[in-house]
Structure 1
Amino acid sequence: MSEISDEMSQALCCAAAVRLDGALAVLADRAQLSDRYNQVIAGVESVIASLGGQSLDTAVLGRAFGANWTLGARYPIELPGGSFFRSALRIVDIVLVATRPGRQATPEQGLEHALEAATEWPAMVQGDAGIGLAGFELACQQEAHERLREGGLPALWKLAAIQAGHYRKAAEMLVG
């Protein structure tokens, strides 16, 4: 992705966070962590809004950082999807950290974390001819890159919401 701008990289990283949110929200709800998780996703939404020209809400970002700090450790070990949950939260870290001056992480690392998280998924994705979630995530990333180039941010967010629905369905099937 070296041929794309920092803003485009950040947008693709945010789109990956939106995709993974489809599963993360379901898992957080099942683990009774929704209140904390909702603060985290509000931080991602603030970053997304800033890509559309709005100011970053530093108070929301601060709460998101704080809520995300120990969220993965709070996920009950007896519930399915814990490895995915903890791994997927790393992309949120990248989205939030990438907003800071002198950042220690890049949006490209966020996409790598999204793919790593998908490899942690404990089951095959139904309806994709036995493709694992990692294969699905890789295809999503490629499609997101194309959609961003062709249709800009609105097209990217629309696609990410659709892709999040697939993650949501997979998580709903996992937790029963």
Structure 2
Amino acid sequence: MPIDRSRFLWWKRGYVVWALVHPLGLKQELWGIMARTLDVAGEALCCAAATRLAGATQVLADRAGLSDRCGLVVAGLETIAASLEGQELDKGALGAAFSANWNLGAAYPAELAGRAFFTAWTRVVFVAIGLALPSQQQIAAGQGLDCALEAAAAWPSDAHVDSSVRLVDFELACRQKAEDELRKGGPPALRTLTQMQFEQYGRAAELLVG
């Protein structure tokens, strides 16, 4: 269908006039668009961080007898990721994840290796769930990403994942790749990458557990 250039030019001139007459309105509109974009990106990256670390926590939870609760948390993270791709957010699954995550770190036996990692992961989850709730405006994605680094830094041994010896170095690389994938391919591409990183974290935990 051919474009009616006269109508396009009329709209363009009208928008420019509006912008000149209402510069504050234009700034506010653009700022609102940018803020919403950053919010969605932050939510996606935080959910991805919680999910990839869950590859390790699921292994640790199985050893600690917490696999059922951990499974509910992971299901909640999956519904957040799906909602970022346009699907409806499953509030029931999200509520179950929140309940299962509550005091989950405290339930991890102190005598088992990986407790600091596991506990820090639950804080990443808390932020990821909070970001999915419109009322939780005081929560910032950076808080969750910082907790993910804290968790990786607390790993009790060398991990030897990918090209990284320390798990915290691997997490930093994961974060960079996640940002790149989200920018290039959006949430679907990020989700594919996250699944691969989830499996890498799982292998690191299996080496720890033995």
Q: Same fold (TM over 0.5)?
A: yes
Query: Runs of 5+ in structure 2 lacking a partner?
Result: 1-34
Which residue is equivalent to 1:96? 129
Which residue is equivalent to 2:175? 141
Which residue is equivalent to 1:21? 54
1:121 is paired with a residue whose SS is coil
Root mean square deviation, CA, Å: 1.6
**How far has the Cα of 1:102 moved from its partner?**
3.2
1:148 is paired with a residue whose SS is helix
- How many Å separate the matches in 1 of 2:196 and 2:88? 26
Q: Could you tell me which of 26, 45, 51 is aligned with 1:12? A: 45
Query: Runs of 5+ in structure 1 lacking a partner?
Result: none
**How far has the Cα of 1:101 moved from its partner?**
2.7
Which residue is equivalent to 1:108? 142
Q: Give the 5 Å matches for 1:68-87.
A: 68-87=101-120
Q: Could you tell me which of 174, 179, 192 is aligned with 1:158? A: 192
**How far has the Cα of 1:131 moved from its partner?**
2.8
**How far has the Cα of 1:155 moved from its partner?**
1.4
2:118 is paired with a residue whose SS is helix
- How many Å separate the matches in 1 of 2:59 and 2:194? 16
1:28 is paired with a residue whose SS is helix
Identity, % of aligned pairs? 51
Which residue is equivalent to 1:40? 73
Closer/same/farther in 2, CA of residues 127 and 69 from structure 1, 3 Å limit: closer
Aligned partner letter, 2:40: E
> TM-score normalised to the size of structure 2?
0.78
- In the TM superposition, what whole-angstrom CA distance separates every residue of 1:78-127 from its partner, at most 9, and x where no partner exists? 11101100011111101111122331312221111111110110011225
Larger radius of gyration: 2
> TM-score normalised to the size of structure 1?
0.93
Which residue is equivalent to 2:23? none
**How many matched pairs?**
174
- How many Å separate the matches in 2 of 1:57 and 1:128? 34
Which residue is equivalent to 1:49? 82
Which residue is equivalent to 1:175? 209
> Greater relative contact order (Cα 8 A, min sep 6): structure 1 or 2?
1
**How far has the Cα of 1:128 moved from its partner?**
5.0
Runs of 4+ displaced beyond 4 Å = 127-130
Closer/same/farther in 2, CA of residues 16 and 23 from structure 1, 3 Å limit: same
- How many Å separate the matches in 2 of 1:39 and 1:28? 12
- How many Å separate the matches in 2 of 1:117 and 1:139? 15
Aligned partner letter, 1:149: R
Aligned partner letter, 1:156: L
Aligned partner letter, 2:176: Q
1:5 is paired with a residue whose SS is helix
- How many Å separate the matches in 2 of 1:128 and 1:71? 29
- How many Å separate the matches in 1 of 2:161 and 2:58? 21
**Structure number with higher helix proportion:** 2
